[in-house]
Structure 1
Amino acid sequence: MRRFDYSFLNNGLLPAKLVNLTASITSLKTIAGVRKEEYVRVFTELEAIAKVQSVKSSNAIEGIVTSDERIAAIVNQNSAPLNHTEAEIAGYRDALNEIHLGCEHINFRRSDILRLHEMLLSAAGHEYGGRYKTDDNVIMEVDAFGNRKVRFSPTPAAETEAAMEQLELAYLDACGDANVNQLLLIPCVILDFLCIHPFRDGNGRMSRLLSLLLLYKSGHDVGKYVSFEEQINNRKAYYYEALRRSSDGWRTNENTYFPFIENFLSTLYMCYKELDKRFAVVHGRKITKKARIESTVLNSLTPLSKAEICKILPDVSPTTVEAVLGAMVKAGAIKRIGAGRASRYAKA
């Protein structure tokens, strides 16, 4: 059976890139914490937007998709699911809400993991929600010619419960070691969860829910305000490559966690950087939407389109962005480059 041992995180022989990433994340986390206390309303708006993006992206990674309008209606509970796909989406919404509202009462333990899995699948009526797999499963991949092959063989069903118990105990043991950085531990646990693949369905979505849970419990709640799942989906080729590299040799305890740790931390770092972009104003200045738009353009090293500004500031309407840009051009603070949809704006 696979041996779960995270003591290597305490040997001081970690790649410099990972150490530097954790330091950068810690710095951005401190800044975000100060801003969250001062700008409660802005963070509340960002949380509502990120929740929609998280539900959309985590399901999209698994090929579960519908229109943006339907996603928003389901997440905001303005409409009941109309079909099986939408019921799957509603299940992720319910599990994500549970983590957002009560992460301090949820732990990485068997009862809580099974309860979250049941919540994830219950809306779609799956009878196997909240239960470990009863049949062996495999992770397939399809080549450019449509040929299938087994990429990875997870833990057999007969060994799954024992493996999950050992994973839980190894995590608790590492949590009790003050010399183990939690930011490095979390991706190791998530990788092992994915390699066990304990459920018949929903393993990928559960891995992202558990990532958020463990991050929130460690004090890194940026995923509430900038979708962690969207960052994965935007760069999922890199995610799957890191997963492949770190799972190679996993069954025989010969794998390396470092590629997956680096991808995980890079994703988290990008979340913090996205959040930081939305607050690029002079310290102490009241952050109005107008000020945030102005600062976004004036502090950008490259010209930005209206669409790019809207992506950086998703809680600001396109109409407001357009009005502020027009006023800035008229005042001579910025210049317009190009015309129509190709227009971009840069500091004059």
Structure 2
Amino acid sequence: MQSFTDLDQLIGAVPFAIVTDLRTVDIGRGSEALYRDKLPALLTSLADRARVASIEASSAIEGVVVEDRARAAEILAGRATTLHTRSEQELAGYRAALDYLYQEAWRPLNTGLILHLHRLLFGYTQMPGGTFKQVDNVVVDRLPDGTKVKRFTPVSAQQTPSYVDELVTRYVSTAAANRHHPVLLVGLFALDLLTIHPFPDGNGRITRALTNALLQDAGYDVTRYVSLETSVARSADAYYAALLDSTHGWHDAAHDPWPWLRYFTRTVADSYEQFATLTATARVGGSKQDRVRTYVLEHAPVTFRIADIRAALPGVSDPTIRLALNQMKAEGSVEADGAGRGATWTRHARSG
């Protein structure tokens, strides 16, 4: 809510680095319609993978992990008839919340929607969801030695309903006014909702799910095809540091939103860069082995895993990937750094 108090003053001048990332985002957005027309099967496959990755990554950030991969797959597919542990229950709950937002019927954004998502998130647990916190809470960090340090003090339980109502109202009206970049507005909404911290548990997951939906609602569909939550999980330290830097002075509307917005816009821009790589690889002609070669030689990190290729090339089987890698290994283009599922590969620099 506080980020929308005097928006023109707060984000009137956008730093150059963020302008550059927003340009990347807008260029990526412009290509989405083309890919929907020309690569519908690929986008469907990417969307299926991104959905699973988003549910698992956003849950894992909060320590909700189902180690048995087959069991997790059953839960994510909705085939598990009994949920045995709290992690299984919460994984199923995040699946329900995210899937609800994948429907067009979730609109409009309002306080009732936020409460409903929380109800879905904890719908399989003994903890009642769908109500705001009843007691004040404090957000803490746990240090390596086990001690806890207060990160920030959220809005009081008494003020929470009015703050959430006002945040939603201000976001909706500001977005409709079309005076500021939509990605910045979504980022500010996420910052404020996380700082209000309206629930005793589940605030991060609800905010990340809504972030996906609001970006898509503003026309930025990349979160359907590339998991934003996975990027956040991989950069968790930067995520929390940016939040911390931008919450100082928030209660007095004297905070600096740019550390958080810098992190947020870079993450969205990175998602579009990943999307461009995935679609570019799919447009390459030739056999599936040729596609593996092109990805490894031109797009993959210097050190990569078979799982990276699998994610980048939906529809290409593991045996095909291994066959292509073995041929490249014989040519001296790549080298295996180990054996087994967790093995990495290294791409050698090409001479000439």
For 2:32 and 2:310, how far apart are their aligned partners in 1?
20
Residues 6/326 of structure 1: CA separation in 2 closer, same or farther (3 Å cut)? farther
For 2:2 and 2:150, how far apart are their aligned partners in 1?
19
For 2:10 and 2:136, how far apart are their aligned partners in 1?
34
Normalised TM-score (structure 2): 0.88
Residues 43/162 of structure 1: CA separation in 2 closer, same or farther (3 Å cut)? same
Q: What is the 5 A alignment of 1:179-328?
A: 179-281=179-281, 286=285, 289-300=288-299, 303=302, 305-307=304-306, 308-313=308-313, 316-327=316-327
Partner residue in 2 for 1:22? 22
Partner residue in 2 for 1:7? 7
Contact 1:222 1:271 in 2 (8 A): yes
Deviation at 1:301, TM superposition (A): 8.0
* Partner SS state of residue 219, structure 1: coil
1:106 equivalenced with 2:104 (yes/no): no
Partner residue in 1 for 2:159? 159
Query: Which stretch shows the higher mean deviation, 63-72 or 189-198?
Result: 63-72
Contact 2:52 2:76 in 1 (8 A): yes
Deviation at 1:344, TM superposition (A): 3.2
Query: Which stretch shows the higher mean deviation, 240-249 or 67-76?
Result: 67-76
Partner residue in 1 for 2:47? 47
Deviation at 1:222, TM superposition (A): 1.2
Residues 282/105 of structure 1: CA separation in 2 closer, same or farther (3 Å cut)? closer
Residues 10/181 of structure 1: CA separation in 2 closer, same or farther (3 Å cut)? farther
Partner residue in 2 for 1:133? 133
Residues 233/315 of structure 1: CA separation in 2 closer, same or farther (3 Å cut)? farther
Contact 2:226 2:275 in 1 (8 A): yes
Query: Which stretch shows the higher mean deviation, 136-145 or 312-321?
Result: 312-321
Instruction: List runs of 5+ in structure 1 lacking aligned partners.
Output: none
Which amino acid is the alignment partner of residue 295 of structure 1?
T
Deviation at 1:72, TM superposition (A): 1.6
Deviation at 1:262, TM superposition (A): 1.1
Residues 322/150 of structure 1: CA separation in 2 closer, same or farther (3 Å cut)? same
Contact 2:154 2:196 in 1 (8 A): yes
Contact 2:282 2:313 in 1 (8 A): no
Which amino acid is the alignment partner of residue 205 of structure 1?
R
Contact 1:6 1:174 in 2 (8 A): no
Contact 2:281 2:313 in 1 (8 A): no
Which amino acid is the alignment partner of residue 297 of structure 1?
V
Question: Paired residues, what number?
Answer: 343
Contact 1:94 1:119 in 2 (8 A): yes
For 1:91 and 1:282, how far apart are their aligned partners in 2?
33
Residues 131/322 of structure 1: CA separation in 2 closer, same or farther (3 Å cut)? same
- The CA RMSD measured in Å over matched residues stands at 2.5
Residues 12/136 of structure 1: CA separation in 2 closer, same or farther (3 Å cut)? closer
1:231-263 alpha-carbon deviations (Å, 9 max, x no partner)? 100010000000000001111211011111111
* Partner SS state of residue 158, structure 1: coil
Deviation at 1:306, TM superposition (A): 4.8
Contact 1:279 1:287 in 2 (8 A): no
Instruction: List runs of 5+ in structure 2 lacking aligned partners.
Output: none
Contact 1:51 1:227 in 2 (8 A): yes
Q: What is the 5 A alignment of 1:111-122?
A: 111-122=112-123
Contact 2:329 2:335 in 1 (8 A): no
For 2:213 and 2:204, how far apart are their aligned partners in 1?
14
Residues 327/219 of structure 1: CA separation in 2 closer, same or farther (3 Å cut)? same
Contact 1:4 1:166 in 2 (8 A): no
Residues 47/281 of structure 1: CA separation in 2 closer, same or farther (3 Å cut)? closer
Residues 205/302 of structure 1: CA separation in 2 closer, same or farther (3 Å cut)? closer
**1:336 aligned residue (334, 337, 340):** 334
Residues 192/282 of structure 1: CA separation in 2 closer, same or farther (3 Å cut)? closer
For 1:116 and 1:51, how far apart are their aligned partners in 2?
16
Residues 227/339 of structure 1: CA separation in 2 closer, same or farther (3 Å cut)? closer
Normalised TM-score (structure 1): 0.89
Partner residue in 1 for 2:168? 168
